[in-house]
Homo-oligomer: A and B are copies of this chain.
Amino acid sequence: MRQSQLFTRTSKEMPKDEVSVNASLLMRAGFVDKLFAGVYTLLPLGLRVMTKIENIVRAQMNAALGQEVLMPALHPRDNWDATARWDAMDVLFKLKDSADKEYALGATHEEIITPLAQKFLISYQDLPRSIYQIQTKFRNEPRAKSGLLRGREFRMKDLYSFHADEADLDQYYETMKGVYFQVFKQVGLGGITHITFASGGAFSKYSHEFQTITSAGEDTIYVCAACQVAVNREIISELKSVCPECGGTELLEHRAIEVGNIFKLGTRFSGAFDFRYTDERGALRPVVMGCYGIGITRLLGAIVEVHHDGRGIVWPAAVAPMSVHLVSLAREAADVRQADEIYGALARAGIEVLYDDRQAVRAGEKFADSDLFGLPLRVVVSAKTLESQSVELKRRGREEAILAPIGNLLTAVTQELAG
């Protein structure tokens, strides 16, 4: 798309009242707008990033046999009374309708998915099943100062699995560990995202978080030097500083942000709704459940915290809003025509291009915008490059640029994007 037509504009100033790096950069680049603390609008370029993250997550959930649904955000109080969480969950937003009936805004969806699944999963032949959604959640967070890392309204993928017994849950739970590592690798957080033991619940001693190491993280974890598995500070003393995975004792402290978690719910929620299935012998048995969350907008914020430099964002290719930033410094009509033609050629080749066609903007400002946006490949067209019928290619995050002949443009761009 042409940058001259883009809804947003960049800002040189750090936004007021915003202490987080992720929100500051995303706001300065015009990717998000802050409505109030913890609540942001996704602007055109930001929404493109989020959609790419969601599609990566969606593909992995589908591969894990997840079936996608979309549950409501308005939850009747009855559902939350049934699990005794109406009063116990202090981040619930609550409201009433015109008939004084009470509702919660969905902070999580066990209270909805459990009675829903109960309608359809009747016999052992209906198990196992995995159901997920990618949806907007609401949490009445008292302190929301970490930008997109802790939202009061945020996007989340939540998958719920239903099993005939604990052995089947255990097996699926192990599968999901691998699926989660795939997701974090694909969005550009591989290697620095650690599976982390955290406190469990009524039905399992521990749950597992996926923690991405970043100084902006709100959590403290201890990564085992031997096996790379981590332990959340909340249980480190209980574990006597010994890695529960391999017994290692060299545990290194890091700040980290929880980008996902997986949890064996056992019969905590099926019990609350008396959700049982008929087994092979005709006996009624409780359904065993697991849940698996990924904070989509939090992931977006975490990617920015990890992938930026002093000049702006450095998007991993898979989640970049577009692949190429075509920056035209052309002034003469014939040069502008050539820049337009290059834009057309890239677009026709199916390459996602943001085309900085603005006439009244200085080169320095264009390059500053380009670094702030952080698209993987910058292509500069100017009177100077056109003298040799070339364009200049520079990958974001690298210093060196190369000249490529226009005749060889598509090959050169494709190579740089792949490289």
- Find chain B residues with CB under 8 A from A140 CB: 97-98
Question: A83-95: contact bitstring with B at CB < 8 Å (1 yes, 0 no)?
Answer: 0000000000111
A70 near B42 with CB under 8 A, answer yes
Q: Is the interface of A mostly helix, strand, loop or mixed?
A: mixed
- Find chain B residues with CB under 8 A from A6 CB: 67
A152 near B47 with CB under 8 A, answer no
A69 near B7 with CB under 8 A, answer yes
A80 interfacial by beta-carbon distance below 8 Å: no
B44 near A153 with CB under 8 A, answer no
Question: A70-110: contact bitstring with B at CB < 8 Å (1 yes, 0 no)?
Answer: 11111110000000000000000111011100000100000
A67 near B93 with CB under 8 A, answer no
Closest chain B CB from A237 CB (angstroms): 30
* Nearest chain B residue, comparing its CB with the CB of A70: B42
Alpha-carbon distance A348/B22, docked complex (angstroms) = 42
- Counting every copy of the chain, the complex holds 2
* Nearest chain B residue, comparing its CB with the CB of A129: B7
- Find chain B residues with CB under 8 A from A7 CB: 67, 69, 117, 120, 129, 131
Given A36-B76, A72-B40; A5-B120 close (CB under 8 Å):
no
- Find chain B residues with CB under 8 A from A75 CB: 35
- Find chain B residues with CB under 8 A from A71 CB: 35, 41
- Find chain B residues with CB under 8 A from A5 CB: 65, 129
Given A7-B131, A39-B74, A97-B93; A44-B68 close (CB under 8 Å):
yes
A8 interfacial by beta-carbon distance below 8 Å: yes
A112 interfacial by beta-carbon distance below 8 Å: yes
B35 near A47 with CB under 8 A, answer no
6 shortest interchain CB distances as A-B pairs: A95-B95, A42-B70, A44-B67, A39-B72, A41-B71, A7-B67
